[in-house]
Amino acid sequence: MNRFLTLLPAAVRPCVGRVLLLAVSLYCNAAASAALTLAEAVAIAQRNDPWTQGSEFRQQSVEAQAVAAGTLPDPMLDLGFANLPTDTFDFDQEAMTQFRVGVVQTFPRGDSRALDAQRLNLLGEQFPAQRDDRRARLAVEVAGVWLEGWRARESIRLIEDDRELFEQLVDVAESSYASALGRTRQQDLVRAQLELTRLEDRLALLHEQLDSSRSRLGEWLRPGADAGGSGANAWLPGAYSAPTLADMLPDIALQHPELYGSGAAVPQADIAALLGDHPALKSLDSRIDASRVDVELARQKYRPEWKVNASYGYREDGPMGQARPDFFSVGLAFDLPLFTSRRQDQQLQSAIADSEAMRTERMLALRSMVASFETQYARLQRLNQRQQLYRERLLPEMQEQAEASLSAYTRDDGDFAEVVRARIAELNARIEALDIDVQRLQTISRLNYFFANSSAGVPGESS
Do 9 and 118 share a structural domain? no
Let me know if residue 326 belongs to a domain. Answer: no
In a domain, 459, yes or no: no
Are 1 and 66 within one domain?
A: no
Residues 7 and 129 occupy one common structural domain: no
Q: Is residue 97 part of a domain?
A: no
Q: Same structural domain for residues 132 and 10? A: no
Let me know if residue 428 belongs to a domain.
yes
Mean pLDDT value across residues 200-219: 90
Asked whether residue 369 falls in the same domain as residue 427, the answer is yes
| Nearest to 48, CA basis, from 283, 220, 254, 288 | 220
Q: Are residues 27 and 42 in the same domain?
A: no
From the list 116, 125, 148, 158, the residue with the least C-alpha distance to 41 is: 148
Report the candidate in 98, 60, 65, 101 with the shortest Cα–Cα distance to residue 82: 98
**Helix, strand, coil percentages for the chain (3-state, nearest 5):** 65, 10, 30
Q: Of 23-37, 95-109, 130-144, 165-179, where does mean pLDDT reach its minimum?
A: 23-37
CA 85, CA 96: separation in Å to the nearest integer? 9
Written as one letter, the residue type at 52 is T
- What is the predicted pLDDT for the residue at 407? 81
Q: Are 21 and 64 contained in the same domain? A: no
Whether 237 is in a domain gets the answer no
Residue 427 CA to chain centroid, in angstroms?
35
pLDDT in tens, 324-356: 888 899 999 998 888 888 889 999 999 999 999
Domain that residue 23 falls in: 1-35
Handedness of CA 12, 17, 22, 24 (dihedral sign): positive
- Clarify whether residues 17 and 54 are in a common domain: no
Q: What would the pLDDT profile of 88-111 be if each residue is shown by its tens digit?
A: 888 777 788 888 999 999 999 989
Strands lying side by side in the sheet with 306-314: 76-82, 98-107, 306-314, 327-334
- The top-scoring range by mean pLDDT among 3-12, 269-278, 416-425 is 269-278
Query: Which CATH number goes with the domain that contains 64?
Result: 1.20.1600.10
Same domain, 221 and 351: yes
Who has greater pLDDT, 422 or 233? Answer: 422
Q: What was the pLDDT predicted at 85?
A: 85
Same domain? 1 vs 68: no
Least confident of 4-13, 60-69, 257-266: 4-13
DSSP state letter for 242: P
Instruction: Name the domain count of the chain.
Output: 2
pLDDT > 90 fraction of the chain, expressed in percent and rounded: 47
Residue 403, in any domain of the structure: yes
Q: Are residues 31 and 44 in the same domain?
A: no
Check pLDDT > 80 for residue 222. no
Tell me if 255 is assigned to some domain.
Answer: yes
Indicate whether 383 belongs to any domain.
Answer: yes
Mark whether 126 and 188 lie in a shared domain. yes
